[in-house]
Structure 1
Amino acid sequence: MQGTKTHKTVVMVLFNDVLLLDVTGPMDVFSITNRMLPPEKHYRLLTVSEHPGWVRGSSGLKVQADLPLHGCPSDIDLLLVPGGPGAYGTRHPQLNEWLPDAARRARRFGAICTGIFLLADAGLIDGYRCTTHWNYVERLKRGYPAARVETEQIYVIDRNLITSGGITAGIDMALAVVAEDHGKDIALEVAKVLLVAMKRQGGQTPYGPLLAAVPRDGSAIARVQAYVVDHIDQAYSISRMAEIAAMSPRNFARAFQREVNMTPMQYVQNARIDHARKLLEACDVPLKVLASRCGFGSARHMRKVFNERIGLSPNQYRQQFGGG
């Protein structure tokens, strides 16, 4: 979004229990970018707070905002709201009242990580494609059904709204802004200074489990879920799982989809992937052996499933997340 303006004002909102890495990561991207630009094209970096004085981060560290909310300039190029426990665990009536007008005045606005809950509370994400940290996407979907929540991208840009996944994804998002404003070459140089990749492989999917904790409440569907996870190396079909549930295949498939929000065979595949990831993280077992232990049948099939679902091959996953 190149414009005729020179200075671009970036405003970061502060509040108690903010995750300071959400603040400092993107702001340092813009600060380092300034070193590579002529002075007249520098980003102007400002912080604003709903309360005067010091703001306490979730780590206990304290920072002081440049301006109160009512002192924020009108020529905002990018308004950002960071995340942290204070974004989703505390009500902010002043921010709720201030954010809609500030977002309307800004050329772009967005959130890092769980900061999206503050935008959502202010009614600013309805109808937009957006994302947040993988651990909070379901909460966001349930709480704000008018938003179009995407679960796999590191960051999402939809018109004038920019949102990102967890914590360091704010750096990825800021690099994307720099690339849009000043070209990919400068963004790449900034990424090199920060020792980060311009584009990470696999999105958010490799970082979180595909399945929630397995229920152990004794119900028919829960009994099947637990059996699959506890005997992941075995072969499964709808008929076999229906037998474990003591239901007809047709009724079982319907009940499973309704209660688990995925088909039985999708559940089996996700359970195999989650188990394989734990093994890839913990040991250097050959892929052929690992594929057998997880019920994939062959290393070739496991590679195909990983590439389709995770966006990484098993070897890439092991290199990125393995402890060895």
Structure 2
Amino acid sequence: MQDVGTHKTVVMVLFDDVLMLDVTGPMDVFSISNRLLPREKHYQLLTIADRHGLVRSSCGLKVQADLRLEDCPRNVDLLLVPGGPGAYGVSHPELNQWLPDAARSARRFGAICTGVFLLGDAGLIDGYRCTTHWNYVERLARRHPESRVETEQIYVMDRNLITSGGITAGIDMALAVVAEDHGKELALEVAKVMLVVMKRQGGQTPYGPLLAAVPRDGSAIARVQAYVVDHIDQPYTVERMAEVAAMSPRNFARAFQRDVGVTPMQYVHNARIDHARKLLESCALPLKVVASRCGFGSARHMRKLFSERIGMSPVQYRQQFGGE
């Protein structure tokens, strides 16, 4: 092992099929910070892999790590594991063996996007709050039930573990590290250089659908789910949905929450919001028309539910995700 002196050393792990933006986004945050910091406070940036030679990323670019695993320096300030197709569903026996000691000896450790699956496979997220890309949070929670998976935050800091949502969220996470190390003012200057915001509105929630794919298997509960989505502009009560399912309201409500994970009315609200998001993304209809087509009853009611569930208003959502 090498001694890294007084610099804060950031070590980024590389492996085949790594997502390059997970690597370069955070590393550029620290690199730009170095331009604004006195030399004695610079981050020392290193990459590490389980072998010499080139590592092929998921986009085809090939990079060579600075070090092999056994040459990891002492006194690492932040050890980071990026995500990508190679981070989940692929066996990494050498990394799994190396990561526990390396992470525990570092002052801080973490993951970008699906890199948290590698930390989880190494037993490093049990008992911690963490997050990952919105499309993988349920899979992470099922795979590592001893961790507490946050579904909405862009990044999560819990003691010495820091994890982020997908891809560009690694930049948000690195900016938070810089703010913790050197103050918010420096982190804001770096964010300006990179043309990103210091804090996004709404966390990860605006980026993914509230509803999973609607099942159409013919069961009573699935029949109601499909009916609501196909007739989203209509008014709904538990009693009306129970009629569609041909069940009593009490039995229907219990069965629905058991099978779907939310109450019937929560499902209706989520379906309305998802449909409204599609309209806000694709057309310039007035908000009252969007609200009517989605069954909200009024633009005011739509705004209230949007703010509660998405963390931003319909106008803000259209500004951020709408087309021309």
Q: Secondary structure at the match of 2:132?
A: coil
**How far apart are residue 75 of structure 1 and its match?**
1.0
The residue aligned with 2:229 is 229
Q: Measure the CA separation in 1 of the matches of 2:218 and 2:205.
A: 30
Indicate the residue corresponding to 1:45 in structure 2.
45
Which runs of 4 or more aligned residues in structure 1 lie more than 2 Å from their structure 2 counterparts after TM superposition? none
- Quote how far apart the aligned CAs of 1:74 are: 1.5
Residue pair 1:275, 1:294 contacting (<8 A) in 2 also: yes
Unpaired runs of 5+ residues, structure 1, are: none
Give the counterpart letter for 1:78 in structure 2: L
1:179-204 CA-partner distances (Å, limit 9, x unpaired) = 00001111000000000001111100
CA RMSD of aligned residues (A): 0.7
Does the CA-based 8 Å contact 1:6-1:42 persist in structure 2? no
The yes-or-no answer on 1:8 pairing with 2:8 is: yes
Residue of structure 2 equivalent to 1:284: 284
Between the aligned partners of 1:13 and 1:140, the Cα distance in structure 2 is 20
Give the structure 2 partner of residue 31 of structure 1: 31
The alignment partner of 1:157 has SS state of: strand
Q: Are the aligned partners of 1:10 and 1:80 in contact in 2 as well (CA < 8 Å)? A: yes
The alpha carbon displacement at 1:52 in A equals: 1.7
Q: Distance in 2 between matches of 1:126 and 1:73?
A: 26
Q: SS in structure 1 opposite 2:91?
A: coil
User: Which residue of structure 1 aligns with residue 303 of structure 2?
Assistant: 303
Contact 1:306/1:312 (8 A) holds in 2 = yes
Aligned AA (2:301): H
Which amino acid is the alignment partner of residue 220 of structure 1?
A
Pairing 1:143-182 to 2, within 5 Å after superposition: 143-182=143-182
1:169: how far off?
A: 0.2
Deviations for 1:46-82, whole angstroms, at most 9, x for unmatched residues? 0000122100000011000000000010110000000
Counterpart CA distance in 2 for 1:170 and 1:185 is: 19
SS at match of 1:180: helix
In structure 1, the partner of 2:107 is 107
Secondary structure of the structure 2 residue equivalent to 1:73:
coil
The TM-score with structure 2 as length reference comes to 0.98
1:98, CA displacement in angstroms? 0.3
- Indicate the percent of aligned positions where both proteins have the same amino acid: 82
Counterpart residue number, 1:190: 190
Match of 2:208 in 1: 208
Q: What do residues 91-140 of structure 1 show as CA deviations (whole Å, max 9, x unaligned)?
A: 10100000000011100000000000000000000010000000000000
Using structure 1 for the length normalisation, give the TM-score: 0.98
d(CA) in 1 for partners of 2:182, 2:79: 18
3-state SS in 2 of match to 1:12: strand
Q: Deviations over 1:8-41 (max 9, x none)?
A: 0000000000000000000000000000111111
